[in-house]
Structure 1
Amino acid sequence: MTLPWMAAKILLRPVAELRAHPGNARVHGAAQLEQIKASMLAFGFTNPLLVDEAGVLIAGHGRLEAAVALGIERVPVIVLRHLSPAQKDALRLADNRIAENATWDQALLREALAGVQAAAEIDVAMLGFSADELTAILAAADAAVTDGDAPEEADQPEASGGGAPGATDTDEAPADDPADAEPDPPRQAVTRPGDLWLLGDHRLLCGDSTDAASVAQVMAGDRAALLFTSPPYGNQRDYTTGGVSDWDALMRGVFGAMSEALQADGQVLVNLGLIHRDGEWLPYWSGWLDWMRAQGWRRFGLYAWDQGPGLPGDWNGRLAPAFELVFHLNRQPRQPNKIVPCKWAGTPNKGSGLRAADGEVKAYTHIGLPVQESRIPDSVLRITRHKGRGIETEHPAVFPVALPEFLMRAYTDEGEAVFEPFAGSGTTLLAGQRIGRQVRAIELAPAYVDLAIARWRLLHPDLPVTLAEDGRDYDAIAAARAEALADAA
């Protein structure tokens, strides 16, 4: 049996060229649209829209609405030219209804959820199950084992589709940030080691941040006001497979190579998470911090990044992880900017007082003056984490664009440079573009450089991405290198 092939390829079309079908009977509520948006941000736009030759939607109304809400300008589509008007209407109904007829194998569902939950790079809140559903499904397996029954024989709570991801009926899911979306990287690698890409006013080098020449190349004479990074830690990524001692060498190499990269009062902010071995957490950063002190760096501050609610499930007896650390080092202090709005801004201060050490209440010196508009941030950064999906080698240091954006606003001024020695998928670059800081970034893996560029182009399709060596744009380089590979084959 053969079926008609509907389309020769998937097309990337501007959303302005697409139209919802006026008779679409499928209703997507606000909660489900949030789920679709979260899925797009986590996994990319994985399911093309189905449209007819006039650009009218046949399937994918919810995905299109979510894409518009996220600010995505172009979406993948398949054009179905072989259907009659009646067949188009029938497919609009069948595409939704047939999927509803599926049921869950509860035992396999529990097994799959447990596996996903154990994966550090996956946030189970983005799967579409509510927190109560996840807890009930996973608890059923625990109850079955406790009672001595096989898990598949236990009472099985039903999994349904309602509720925002990771939220109960009374919880409000945090708004997703379009900048945290990770599109698919190119099928064929484009970037090669040594490539220096210019992304607008930013620079991204595929190279080794422990190499002083590479650092000098990407900085091009600039001095950064801030180094922000979230490096791989423990045994993560290929160059740390030897363990913590290799991580120490990596960090010494990075900070030894950047002596000319920072201003005299440049600040260093490093995001690190906990790792556990043999039942206890390890202060794996101790050796690196001791080395930094020997080089004249001060352990100036230690901040907590509050990532929001912890994930449901059993964490080997520990409370659910919901924070990471940000280490602040410097050689000279720099006053942070006042970026947090004050609740009573502009309201005149009244006649309150301050109690001195001797117990006497002194007159408050700001009586009659208005409350300032903003203040410096506190040492707990309350920024909800939106985990990315990673690619082949799985990125171990996933963080939202809002984290570097917040810290850049606190410790840099507009137009100043920021150095990022572990660029990963380009999150710091996107933060810099959003608030007018110039990012100088290095990433070792060509695949992640390509992913960083793909994210950049998704959000900034009108801004150029060119190779510094000859000024050719990314598409021209991709085409030339693909042609060279084809000729070599």
Structure 2
Amino acid sequence: MKVEQRKLSEIKPYEKNPRHNDAAVDAVAASIREFGFKVPIIVDPDGVIVAGHTRWKAAQKLGLEKVPVIVAADLTAAQIRAFRIADNQLCSLASWNYELLPIELAELQGMDYDLGLLGFDQDELARLLDPGVKDGLCDPDELPQPPDEATTRPGDLWLLGEHRLLCGDAGKVEDVDRLLEGAKVHLINTDPPYGVRVEPRSNNAIVAGNSSFPKELPRMHHQAFDVARQGPKRATTKKLRAKDRPLENDFLKPEEFQRLLYAWFGNMARVLQPGKSFFIWGGYANLGNYPPVLEACGLYFSQGIVWDKQHPVLTRKDFMGCFELAFYGWREGAAHRFFGPPNALDLWQVKKVNPASMIHLTEKPVALALRAMQYASLQGENVLDLFGGSGSTLIAAEQTGRRAYLMEIDALYCDVIVERWQKFTGRKATRKSTKLKEAKA
């Protein structure tokens, strides 16, 4: 069988070709560009295509002058007509092994290969690479109590399987670079301070002076009224718990908070791949200060996702609070990808964690991070959370086959994150190059 190079202008399409192939031309052209023209076009003695119409169109698109051809001189006219049909139909009889195919795709992805060159559309890849949600050894929302004294020290880097956690500052370039160590970021899911003075409401916090509720006029808040009516509160525990302290960077003047937003969002934009998505959590108070900073940093704000917490919260406002927002968008510079269903809503109804059992003041259920990852990333990709908090992003990444890169400034909550992961997976976390004792419960 002889393969010869022939001018594209000398090859003619079969006018009665029954196969529709225009939709495949771009994918085949990309394949030829990547791998070369490895499969010749088959023509009859008159130069009319027998098999390879899509490759011929792709060659035209690529501007090729010559292509490899095989002349089917040994076939009769009837055989040539039959082969045109059989060549296409026989291919459709084969099917994929859906146990082995995802493994091959995941390994290619791990080699940083562009899976878009394989002919699958993005929705197909998302389905093939998504292993679903894996169970752990305990409830994904279960959290350990923080230790009395932190095991973690500022600057400590934890390795949790394929995940990483740094006790550092989200606003510092050097901390983010150390956390990532060159890894690409395919998704950001993070919950920074909202700048709304979130205060602890526990008796411990009131007694310690960490809550302003007793200082308010009786009619401004239910706890202030309760204090005025019943007298001073008594501490519930002998020692202050992590959640009895105000949030870091949440009690700032507007101009200082704005400066931090530029540092935080600028760091995110610097490392997020073009076209990749972000979910940055906030509240209605952030509708004014988030969008201009996002735009200035090159992060396109597409829309707000409303989280219906299904659990009203008493506030100092006229209306009880029952929602928070995820500011959703992507880094500019490339087209973004969405892997969610076509009927995905911008209202997420997920019950919040019971306040009585919360370890972190702004603890989020894992289901929120799961949804963000399933809608905007693929298995094996990297998810960045610069405000690790209680570690919900980490657990969601563990459940869905993503790699999580977490930053948390509070050493006590770093201990919580590590212990939470260890309990969920049954595995041990380590410091980089140094074994780390399991965090005290």
Query: What's the TM-score bracket when you normalise by the shorter of the two chains?
Result: 0.5 to 0.7
Q: Which among 260, 263, 269 is matched to residue 253 of structure 1?
A: 263
1:212 positional shift: 0.8
Query: 1:270 and 1:387, CA in 2 relative to 1: closer, same or farther beyond 3 A?
Result: farther
Deviations 1:372-405 (A, max 9, x none): xxx45221112111146688xx733221000011
Query: 1:415 and 1:301, CA in 2 relative to 1: closer, same or farther beyond 3 A?
Result: same
Contact 2:136–2:425 (Cα < 8 Å) also in 1: no
Question: Hey, what does 2:328 align to over in structure 1?
Answer: 328
Query: 1:217 and 1:322, CA in 2 relative to 1: closer, same or farther beyond 3 A?
Result: same
Query: 1:284 and 1:338, CA in 2 relative to 1: closer, same or farther beyond 3 A?
Result: closer
Q: What is the root-mean-square deviation of aligned Cα atoms in Å?
A: 2.6
> Identity, % of aligned pairs?
27
1:273 positional shift: 2.4
1:337 aligned partner, one-letter code: F
Q: Does 1:301 align with 2:300?
A: no
Q: Does 1:441 align with 2:406?
A: yes
Q: Does 1:227 align with 2:188?
A: yes
Query: 1:314 and 1:185, CA in 2 relative to 1: closer, same or farther beyond 3 A?
Result: closer
1:456 positional shift: 1.2
Q: Does 1:271 align with 2:281?
A: yes
1:316 positional shift: 5.5
Question: Hey, what does 1:348 align to over in structure 2?
Answer: none
Contact 2:193–2:248 (Cα < 8 Å) also in 1: no
Counterparts of 1:171-186 in structure 2, within 5 Å, are 178-186=139-147
Unaligned residue ranges in structure 1 (runs of 5+):
1-69, 74-177, 275-282, 340-374, 480-489
Question: Hey, what does 1:377 align to over in structure 2?
Answer: 344
Give the whole-Å Cα distance in 1 for the aligned partners of 2:398 and 2:315: 39
Q: Does 1:430 align with 2:391?
A: no
1:247 positional shift: 2.4
Deviations 1:389-437 (A, max 9, x none): 688xx73322100001111010000000000010011111011001111
Q: Which among 411, 415, 422 is matched to residue 457 of structure 1?
A: 422
Unaligned residue ranges in structure 2 (runs of 5+):
1-134, 199-246
Deviations 1:160-209 (A, max 9, x none): xxxxxxxxxxxxxxxxxx11112122333100000000011100000001
Q: Which has the higher contact order (CA 8 A, sep 6+)?
A: 2
Give the whole-Å Cα distance in 2 for the aligned partners of 1:315 and 1:242: 19
Corresponding residue SS for 1:474: coil
Deviations 1:109-137 (A, max 9, x none): xxxxxxxxxxxxxxxxxxxxxxxxxxxxx
Question: Hey, what does 2:294 align to over in structure 1?
Answer: 292
Contact 1:209–1:215 (Cα < 8 Å) also in 2: yes
Corresponding residue SS for 1:424: coil
TM-score by length of 1: 0.48
TM-score by length of 2: 0.53
Question: Hey, what does 1:112 align to over in structure 2?
Answer: none
1:72 positional shift: 6.0
Corresponding residue SS for 1:264: strand
1:450 aligned partner, one-letter code: D
Give the whole-Å Cα distance in 2 for the aligned partners of 1:389 and 1:465: 28
1:384 aligned partner, one-letter code: K
Counterparts of 1:67-466 in structure 2, within 5 Å, are 178-233=139-194, 234-236=196-198, 237-274=247-284, 283-310=285-312, 317-318=318-319, 320-330=320-330, 331=332, 332-339=334-341, 375-387=342-354, 395-461=360-426, 463-466=427-430
1:333 positional shift: 4.1
Query: 1:316 and 1:223, CA in 2 relative to 1: closer, same or farther beyond 3 A?
Result: closer
Q: Name segments (4+ residues, structure 1) moved above 3 Å.
A: 70-73, 313-317, 387-391
